[in-house]
Structure 1
Amino acid sequence: MARLAGAAVGAAMLAGATAAHAADTIKVGILHSLSGTMAISETTLKDVMLMLIEEQNKRGGLLGKQLEAVVVDPASNWPLFAEKARQLIAQDKVDVVFGCWTSVSRKSVLPVFEELNSILFYPVQYEGEESSKNIFYTGAAPNQQAIPAVDYLMAEEKVERWVLAGTDYVYPRTTNKILEAYLLAKGVKQEDIMINYTPFGHADWQNIVAEIKAFGSTGRKTAVVSTINGDANVPFYKELANQGIKATDIPVVAFSVGEEELAGLDTAPLVGHLAAWNYFQSVENEDNEAFIAAWKAFIKNDKRVTNDPMEAHYIGFNMWVKAVEKAGTTDPTAVIDALIGVSVPNLSGGYSAMMPNHHITKPVLIGEIQADGQFEIVSQTPGLVVGDEWSDFLEGSKDLISDWRAPLSCGNFNVKTGKCGGT
């Protein structure tokens, strides 16, 4: 009996020590697809989060504790994102989560974060039309990417006919709905807009590219605005080259193709096609050079590249660290309040600030694909652009604003009716 009692006491002491040890770390959840169609884009975001956490720990951690990464793989499976988010928050007891790429994955986890009152930093361009108290949107809203890209094509390329090509899910459909309304407001005729959607992982582009080629053969300048996501980009760009479509004929401006995606392509036939982001690896400044050097050292591969969503995680992570220090706690309610107004350096030059609508300020850059897989920056906004969560070009949205500060604390306040529509 004495032995059993001693064993029980020992077990209790071990359990207590384990709990104390767990309490000695601040857990950071990483919710990115490491397998499936989106792994081509998301695996790098997991890696950069591990780097940022390691660097913060070398600086002494946060609030006197070391940070601990908790990595899960939702495997490009949208319902599984919600399940893994719940696991991170309820079981693993993480203090914050960095993750998701597609809007369908973000919308899958949104109710989980609101129910359990946790924090998600979302690092990818998206369609807007959303503002959650528990989500901080560090990627571009449409007015920080899609609309400036169209403006550039109109002004610089004199484009008159438009192909809106996207993957068949919420981000491309909503973004293209906004872009279609914007183009019509600019005087573009409906017959000069072609819209096409394909499923995730779509591989057979021969007929669609032939249709694009025919649409652009009228003698009027035509461009493709691409919201094609994931590994479907590889056969899409290959088919453009196969059918002899050059950037001088029908330029493509992409919102989901960056340096990481180009690493898997033969870029020689794609020279001159475009992408709109808020950051490119080719940005020249000391902060970016230091970030690139740190990344290559961490990943132990000089050929690995950086990209826009990585910078968004860099911004978001540093904002979270600063807000935790400001609040003196990792408690989500306190950190959510502390995040508004936080300003940190971005890698494109200057500082990005977290606004009351949980979106950040960012410059907008247009880059032209080069043969080496990098982008030459051909256009940049003169200053920072504030992310607009509700589109000015959609009925039902143009009268809405988001402000999560007290006393308003509303994600969709109607300025005409003076009422909050709820979260």
Structure 2
Amino acid sequence: MKRITSAVKRRTFLKTAAMAAGALGMPSIIRGAQAAEPIKIGCLFSSSGTMANTEGRLNHVCRMAAKELNAKGGVLGRPVEVVVTDPGSDWPLYAQLGRQLLLQDKVASLFGCWTSVSRKSVLPVVEQNNGLLFYPLHFEGEENSKNVVYLNSPPSSSVLPALEYLMSDDGGAAKRFFMLGSDYVWPRTINKICKGYLTSKGFKEASWREHYVPFDFSNFQTLVNDIRQFASQPGGQPIVILTVVGSSIPAFFKEVISQGLRATDIPVLGLDMLEADLEGLDTTTMVGHLNCWAYLQNAGSPRNDAFKAAWKDYVDTNKLPFRNNVVIDPMVSTYDGVHLWAAACQKAGTTEVDAVRAAFPGLTFDDPSGYTLSMTGENNYVGRGVFIGSVNDKQGFDILWQSEGTPKPVPFSPYA
């Protein structure tokens, strides 16, 4: 009996020793991967449909940010794994895929959505399942959910400063306003806020016109002609407040170029217009049209230089179907969001949503724009700087104006 026990012990010892030797013989990165299960984060960005050209880039920015985190040891000693979906610019599908990421893939957090209608589609999903959505677009505000981190600027920090600038003597003393948008919640709410703001400044309803088009609308010939006629009327300097989105933006400006309408005739403030929307356009005739974001590619900052170099390397290494020298605000905002989430997890010591949310107050991140982002305990809005850009002849934006510091975000506008 003693002999059998000794034999069992010998076999057990030899088996254990062999397993230990095998493990020690593995590269350390493999041993670490076995020891630590990855933390999954989910992407809800469309790489097909009307939003694909701009929104599809954000999936890759998430991966790039995760790669940076993993190179420094991951989050809480665990590697970060990015789970990508394609909602196809189909608003109900965002909710379906968001639910799948939370309940089936067990992601720790979601990063996603572009349009406000896609965010509002996902909102009940994250609220019902206590998920956390990091939303990277500037938007209409009028929302404050504990389950959403609003990474970009509400109108008080972006749209209204741009409008105020255009109404000033330095900005051209705008007196009349042609509001043209895609037909959904963001443009309609933005224009409602703008009209309330203009009314508070003494403007009458005759000072503005308002028109909406469907998603993916492209035939702007009649509308641009209407804008031309609006510009020719008396009453002071006119401007266009443009809130069309996706493929409608370059389609609109192609017609503007075709009809020879220049910023000296009537400047366009394209509130969703990005560097990527200018690709393929002859911007020599667009010089002087404007946009307003929390980041512009021409922001002068060593951190911006480093980010652009990292994106160029990532595009080239992974052979992505995007220009390696074009960076847009929502890319940077998504990148910021991944790093803010990681910092909150490290501070909380867990990826559990309630604890991560409790860790938000006091978080900061040095953004590529040159500003330092911050979060408070008041809400889940991130304090950002803001830029007004002017289209140049190189398919980009020169910085016309930028905020002093980071204005406090105001979720609910008094003008709505």
Common fold: TM-score over 0.5? yes
> Does 1:29 pair with 2:50?
no
Q: Which moved more, 1:302-311 or 1:91-100?
A: 302-311
Q: Secondary structure at the match of 1:209?
A: helix
> Does 1:339 pair with 2:360?
yes
1:263-301, Cα deviation, whole Å (9 max, x unpaired): 242322211111011111101111110000000000117
Q: State how 1:117-128 maps to structure 2 within 5 Å.
A: 117-128=130-141
Q: Which moved more, 1:334-343 or 1:194-203?
A: 334-343
1:198 to 207, 213, 218: 213
**Counterpart amino acid of residue 50 in structure 2:** T
> Does 1:290 pair with 2:290?
no
Q: Secondary structure at the match of 1:35?
A: coil
Task: Note closer, same or farther for the CA distance 1:92–1:385 as it changes in structure 2 (3 Å cut).
Answer: same
Structure 2: distance between partners of 1:121 and 1:232: 25
Q: Secondary structure at the match of 1:230?
A: coil
8 Å contact kept, 1:165–1:224: yes
8 Å contact kept, 1:42–1:101: yes
1:247 to 254, 257, 263: 263
Task: Note closer, same or farther for the CA distance 1:29–1:132 as it changes in structure 2 (3 Å cut).
Answer: same
Shift of 1:21: 6.0
Shift of 1:304: 3.4
> So what's the TM-score if we normalise by structure 2?
0.88
Q: Secondary structure at the match of 1:204?
A: coil
**Counterpart amino acid of residue 133 in structure 1:** K
> So what's the TM-score if we normalise by structure 1?
0.86
Q: Secondary structure at the match of 2:365?
A: strand
8 Å contact kept, 2:371–2:384: no
1:173-225, Cα deviation, whole Å (9 max, x unpaired): 01110011101111112111011100100011011111111111124210001
1:208 to 223, 230, 234: 223
Structure 2: distance between partners of 1:162 and 1:110: 33
Shift of 1:302: 6.3
8 Å contact kept, 1:359–1:386: no
1:331-353, Cα deviation, whole Å (9 max, x unpaired): 01100111122111112223111
Shift of 1:303: 3.9
1:131 to 144, 164, 183: 144
Q: Which runs of 5+ in 1 are unaligned?
A: 1-19, 395-423
Structure 2: distance between partners of 1:267 and 1:77: 31
1:313 to 331, 334, 347: 334
1:70-102, Cα deviation, whole Å (9 max, x unpaired): 000000001100000000000000001110000
Structural RMSD (CA)? 1.4
Name the residue aligned to 2:381. Answer: 359
Name the residue aligned to 1:158. Answer: 173
Task: Note closer, same or farther for the CA distance 1:322–1:190 as it changes in structure 2 (3 Å cut).
Answer: same
**Counterpart amino acid of residue 359 in structure 1:** Y
**Counterpart amino acid of residue 384 in structure 1:** T
Structure 1: distance between partners of 2:67 and 2:383: 26
**Counterpart amino acid of residue 360 in structure 1:** V
8 Å contact kept, 2:63–2:82: yes
Structure 2: distance between partners of 1:140 and 1:352: 11
8 Å contact kept, 1:114–1:134: yes
Shift of 1:23: 6.8
8 Å contact kept, 2:220–2:255: yes
1:149 to 162, 165, 184: 162
Larger Rg: 2
Name the residue aligned to 2:369. Answer: 348
Structure 2: distance between partners of 1:232 and 1:63: 43
Name the residue aligned to 1:17. Answer: none
Structure 2: distance between partners of 1:81 and 1:333: 23
1:378 to 400, 403, 406: 400
Count of residue correspondences: 375
1:322 to 343, 350, 354: 343
Structure 2: distance between partners of 1:263 and 1:357: 37
8 Å contact kept, 1:125–1:255: no
Task: Note closer, same or farther for the CA distance 1:36–1:358 as it changes in structure 2 (3 Å cut).
Answer: same
> What is the percentage of aligned positions where both structures have the same residue?
43
